[in-house]
Amino acid sequence: MYNNCMTTPMPQWLKDLVGRNKAALRSSAALNAQESIHHHLLHTVCQEARCPNRGECFNCGDATFMVLGDICTRGCRFCAVTKGRPLPPDENEPARVAQAVKEWNIRYAVLTMPTRDDLPDGGADHFARVISAIKTLTPHVKTEPLISDLRGDEAALKTVLDAQPDVLAHNVETVPALYQAVRVGADYRRTLTLLERSKKMAPHILTKTGFMVGLGETEEQLKGLLADLRAVGVDLLTIGQYLAPSAAHYPVARYPQPEEYRAWEEYALSLGFKGVASGPLVRSSYRAGALYARAMQSGLAK
């Protein structure tokens, strides 16, 4: 078990930033969003993963819906989502998610999932039905599924892509040298293969990934990771600070300064990424619609 007393202390500027976002959770807009989540019996990754941006996003009418329950079959050492034995898929969930998207007047819906290694297709069919339900009820809404690695199942990936999302996201999370320590059950090459296959199978669907910094990676390892991601055609990228959910999770090695995030964003854009969001509290689904829009408006995402 890890002990965060050995972790580098969080700097005051970052504590202040997290505190301001937590305060936003008490606003009427954020409270209404949380009430709607409970009313529709839904889960959001904003809550399950204890995202530090949920106050800001709820105030903007954004949320990332977690489908297929809130229990994961893996136990990655950075993640706050509960590991255990999940319940079977809820057949009514696609309709409930679609109704919530309509009621919130969401224009860009991000959908994520816990890893479901207990299901033959990793949950791909259920995930595709959620996308289809949203498109049927609100055809104008853009969708971005943030999927697990589906155990490398190409047919399962095709099932999700056939639902015609606008972006296919799957997070690489960290540099390959840290996979064994940080990402239990995951495989770096399998992640790259999924992203590459998505681009080959559906070139018109943008691919997206995200990773954390502050886990102990080096600058050269980060540059190697970025080169690998561009080599498989990844379009959109997020970079954010790792924050340990508890003392039992993987410890934080360091807290990069804000100017480092700006430098990484500039470097990634110079490599050809079509859109990059980089900052201490950036998460994979943070203002995802805005990142997609910037890429489209720039004329780079075709």
Hey, what CATH topology would domain 4-297 get? TIM Barrel (3.20.20)
The β-bridge partners of 142 are: 108
* pLDDT single digits (tens) 22-56: 655 555 555 555 555 555 545 544 444 455 555 55
Categorize the per-residue pLDDT at 212 as very low, low, confident or very high, splitting at 50, 70 and 90: very high
Contact status, residue 121 vs residue 150, Cβ threshold 8 Å: yes
Find residue 83's DSSP bridge partners: 72
Global confidence as pTM: 0.85
For tokens 């559906």, the residue is 202
Backbone angles phi, psi at 66, to 5 degrees: -100, 115
pLDDT over threshold 70, residue 190: yes
The token pair at 222 is 């980060």
Confidence of residue 300 (pLDDT cuts 50, 70, 90): low
% of the chain exceeding 70 in pLDDT: 82
User: Rounded to 5 degrees, what angle do the CA atoms 183, 186, 191 make?
Assistant: 115
The four Cα atoms 275, 281, 284, 289 give a dihedral, to 10 degrees, of -60
Q: Which of 176, 232, 186 is nearest to 207 (CA)?
A: 232
Contact 226, 192 (CB under 8 A): no
User: Residues 52-79: pLDDT tens digits?
Assistant: 555 555 555 556 788 998 888 887 777 7
DSSP reduced 3-state for 285? coil
Q: Give the pLDDT of residue 245.
A: 81
Rounded Cα–Cα distance for residues 96 and 89 (Å): 13
The alpha helices in 79-153, defined as continuous H runs, are 93-103, 124-137
Distance CA 164, CA 138 (A): 14
Instruction: Note the Cα 20 to chain centre separation in Å.
Output: 22
